[in-house]
Amino acid sequence: MSLRFVLVYRTGGQYKEWHVRRLMAQLREYCSKRFEIHVITDDWSFEKPMTDETIITHYVSTNVASWFPGWWLKLLMFHRGVILPGHRYLYFDLDTTIVANIDRLVSRVIEADDKFIILEDVYRGHRHYQSSIMAFSPSPWLNEIYASYVRNATDTQELFQVGGDQEYIQYCVALVGKFSDTVYFQDMLPDNVVSYKVHCPRGRAPAGASVVIYHGQPKPWDEEGRLYA
């Protein structure tokens, strides 16, 4: 089963194309395994190098993107027309920073086969979802996360205004009886994926960490040059 990293980039917000390029460069630097990068974006000017077949782009129309404001655009990852069988997907928020080799992380994600993997929230714990990083394989029940949102987009945005996409995803997974099957990165590889705000005092990633998430503020480019493994 081949691996595809998924990056979601929408225009009009805090993220720009260079944020996508930044994370793509880190993936190439810190992963020696074979992979593809799947970019979902409403930026029709975003172009991959013509000679690079490892980058797959899925362009979203302005009309479609309007149904998925802010963080909600990442739900397109679960659309059966966007993600395809035969691949294992590993999603990163664009403010993720990779600080060391992730081959072991990638291997464990692939070995987990059809398991849904997500972070346990670093503040709430107790199996609350944190969606900065997710791994999954295409399946009908995951597609229902997307489909259910589309059927009730406005109501869903209002209901999960505070908890956001991660709380909505958790709700949907529980609704189809898959919550107890969830695998958490912290259990799979303890101390490998960490939070900048919680685990990186004085800008130093703890021993064994390869991925640092930046939920909220600051962002990694605000702290440029301060984070190191």
The pair phi, psi for residue 164, each rounded to 5°, is: 70, -160
Position 30: which residue type?
Y
* Domain ranges (residues) in the chain: 2-92+101-191
Which numeric CATH code is attached to 2-92+101-191?
Answer: 3.90.550
How is residue 170 written in tokens? 């958790």
44/17 Cα distance (integer angstroms) = 11
Cβ-contact 91, 215 below 8 angstroms = no
Cβ-contact 87, 1 below 8 angstroms = yes
> Is residue 177 left, alpha or beta, with left meaning phi > 0 and alpha meaning psi from -120 to 50?
left
Question: CA dist 89 to 23, 33, 124, 137, 150, Å?
Answer: 16, 14, 26, 6, 22
pLDDT tens digit at each of 229 positions of the chain: 789 999 999 999 889 999 999 999 999 999 999 999 999 999 999 988 877 889 999 999 999 999 999 889 999 999 998 988 899 999 999 999 999 999 999 999 999 989 999 999 988 868 899 999 999 999 999 999 999 999 999 999 999 999 899 999 999 999 999 999 999 999 999 999 998 887 777 778 888 899 999 877 777 787 655 555 4
225/128 Cα distance (integer angstroms) = 32
